[in-house]
Structure 1
Amino acid sequence: MRTLALLIAAVGILLEGLVIGFTLFALGGVIDAYSMSMAGTDPSLAQAALKVGGIVLAAFLVVLAAVLAAAAARDRHARKAAFAAMIVQCAVVVIAGLALGWAVFAGTLIVLGTLLYALLDDSQQPATH
């Protein structure tokens, strides 16, 4: 069961990383296209910051998803990676709950639940296939 929980969490975090990264990168393009100023800052600085932030955050989440998937493939605990993913996931759940609607909130809550299960599962038994 731990393997399934880690796989669900890995897929969910991978999708979140891709969506968040793409959205921030696209917002950087919008700022550039319309020369938008945010509180008087230089539009090119804001555009570059959003694009770099999107790429870095997406890369972090993709790597985290890969670590969780590797742990699932080896049927091992991923305590440190799962703990880091839980922290990120808590922030994503709050943002999703506030801004993105019930469907996104439910999806992120499922990922959070599977991460919690993977952290709390103390069984030393290998997965049954």
Structure 2
Amino acid sequence: MRTLALLIAAVGILLEGLVIGVVLFALGGVIDAYSMSLNGTDPSMAQAAVKIMGVGLAVLLVVLAAGLAAAAARDRHARKMTVVALVIQCIVVVIAGIALGWAVFGGTLLVLGTLLYALLDDNHQPVTR
């Protein structure tokens, strides 16, 4: 069951990373097209910053999803990676709950729940005496 939870979390985080990256990259294009200043900054600098942030966040989430998928394939715990994913996922859940509506909030909450289950599941641990 832990393997399934890690796979669901990996797919969810992968989708979130791709969506967030595409949205921020497109937002950078909108900033450039409309010459938006974002609190008085140069529009080209704001556009570059938003695009770099989008690509960087997408890469971070894709790498995190790959690590969780690798842990699922090996049927091993990914303790440190799961904790990092939980922290990131908590932030995404709050943002989704505030800004993006119930459907996105429900999907991100599902990923958060599977990460928490994967972190707390100790069924496959070797017996220590």
If the TM-score is normalised by the length of the shorter chain, which range does it land in?
Answer: over 0.9
The residue type equivalent to 1:90 in the other structure is: C
User: Which amino acid in the other structure matches residue 71 of structure 1?
Assistant: A
Number of residue pairs matched?
126
RMSD over aligned CA atoms reads 1.1
Tell me the distance in 2 between the aligned counterparts of 1:13 and 1:28.
22
Query: Are 1:119 and 2:110 an aligned pair?
Result: no
Offset, 1:124: 2.2
Correspondences of 1:59-74 after superposition (within 5 Å): 59-74=59-74
3-state DSSP of counterpart to 2:109: helix
- CA apart distance, 1:49: 0.3
- Percent sequence identity is 79
Partner of 2:51: 51
Please list every run of at least 4 consecutive aligned residues from structure 1 whose deviation after the TM superposition is greater than 6 angstroms. Answer: none
* TM-score, scaled to structure 1: 0.95
Q: Give, in whole Å, the separation in 2 of the partners of 1:48 and 1:36.
A: 12
Give 1:84-99 correspondences, 5 Å limit.
Answer: 84-99=84-99
1:104 is aligned to 2:86: no
Amino acid at match of 1:30: V
How far apart are the structure 2 equivalents of 1:35 and 1:125?
A: 56
